[in-house]
Amino acid sequence: MGRKFFGTDGIRGRTNEAPMTAEIAQRVGQAAGAHFMRGDHRHRVVIGKDTRLSGYMMESALISGFTSVGMDVVMVGPVPTPAVAMLTRSMRADLGVMISASHNPFFDNGIKLFGPDGYKLSDETEARIEAILKDDPKLVPPAEIGRARKIEDARGRYIHFAKSTFPEHLRLDGLKIVVDCANGAAYQVAPSALWELGADVVTLGVSPNGFNINDGCGSTSPAMLQARVVEEGAHIGIALDGDADRLIVVDEKGTVIDGDQLMALIGVSWAERGLLRGGGIVATIMSNLGLERFLEGKGLGLVRTKVGDRYVLETMRGEGYNVGGEQSGHIILSDYATTGDGLVAALQILAGLVESGRPASELLRQFEPLPQLLKNVRFDGGQPLETSPVKAAIADAEARLSGTGRLVIRKSGTEPLIRVMAEGEDETLVAEVVDRICEAVKAAA
């Protein structure tokens, strides 16, 4: 069985439409539970969620699936994705589940699975779970049905963990921080952690109602944060996405700083302190060519992977790196976490801000990015990238950018989109080639 359900970041889709229905969620619980039921101990799964209305439905369906095959369930409520990964390990659970569609609108939802080590599942493990899905579940006898319970201190445990990654000799006293939690999973934990470290905290996106997650706020919509940082005279702004595994920063002037700049700062800082492993960092094919050239100038390397923080992490683990991430703001610091963690990454940036005494606009501008343009084209089916006109447009673009830039064309792993990205030294040329390819894709879609 192929990857019918799993994409680049678990299972995701529009709620109440396949594959994001209660029925399929129950079957996923049964299949994943069956796969991880090994040994004769009481088996346990940790389930967290973000603030979407559909989270209640998906949570109930997953609980039904897991308990029906004999697995106990621990519910931790709305917490960031990295909190689920951390709690799965600390509670010695066999499996962790995060119910979230990350930065997508409220009407989407998703299921992310973590193994007992707190890492996202490999493609091979997901394929084995999909293979189990096609068979009838093996239900346990009534006396062996799993139990479900909720723990109330999950947020406190995560706040303690996040604060432990911040240097003990530093505090955030005197720092005014605007934090935008996207009306998502971190709406309580992020402001609390920053306040406990001494910051003057101004909050945005901390009033979830089931519908407003990522709606005009958070890391994918930073305009409100930009305006508020300037209005408040804040030193810095922090934006998380719906499940808080992504970070975007706004400097004191209201300028957005992306993940490439943040990785550059952390990577070079750690290298100077002898903490960086692997001789560089890991990023995806979408990271700016300016980052690669900057790191080379510092004697550091950049290893590129497919898009998806799971692929970044696989390379980090396989080749011994401890800093990696994506331009979109997924930053993985494997000394602390097994997945992207927006709050933990933000604390590293804030530590640098405190220690340097420099304004964010200076500290966070590590390199001059090359002109880069990304456009998305929605399609309703078929294989637009396989058509002759699209292939011709791509070939022409590659020839025109040769030696001065890059071209990346790919299907989204989470939405029906073709993503067209180009970068190069000539901004006009970059725009021309992207527009021509997009027009060709639209005509073929």
- Tally the residues of the chain: 445
| 177 φ/ψ angles, rounded to the nearest 5 degrees | -125, 130
- 102 annotated active-site: yes
Residue 242 and residue 50 in contact, taking contact as beta carbons nearer than 8 Å: yes
Residue 397 makes CB contacts below 8 A (sequence gap 6+) with 407, 422, 433, 434, 436, 437
> Distance between CA atoms of 267 and 282, rounded to whole angstroms?
10
> Distance between CA atoms of 197 and 195, rounded to whole angstroms?
5
Plot region of 146 (φ>0 → left; ψ -120 to 50 → alpha; else → beta): beta
Residue 52 makes CB contacts below 8 A (sequence gap 6+) with 15, 99, 100, 101, 106, 109, 210, 213, 242
Would you state the structure tokens that stand for residue 154, as one six-digit string? 């999950």
> Distance between CA atoms of 250 and 405, rounded to whole angstroms?
27
> Distance between CA atoms of 81 and 50, rounded to whole angstroms?
8
> Distance between CA atoms of 382 and 84, rounded to whole angstroms?
36
Q: In what order do the strands lie in the sheet with 405-411?
A: 372-378, 417-424, 405-411
Gyration radius (Cα) of the chain, Å: 22
Tell me which residue of 313, 256, 249 sits closest to 281, measured CA to CA. 313
> Distance between CA atoms of 207 and 228, rounded to whole angstroms?
17
Tell me which residue of 269, 264, 270, 263 sits closest to 335, measured CA to CA. 270
Please tell me which residue in 102, 192, 287, 328 is annotated as part of the active site. Answer: 102
Residues labelled catalytic: 102
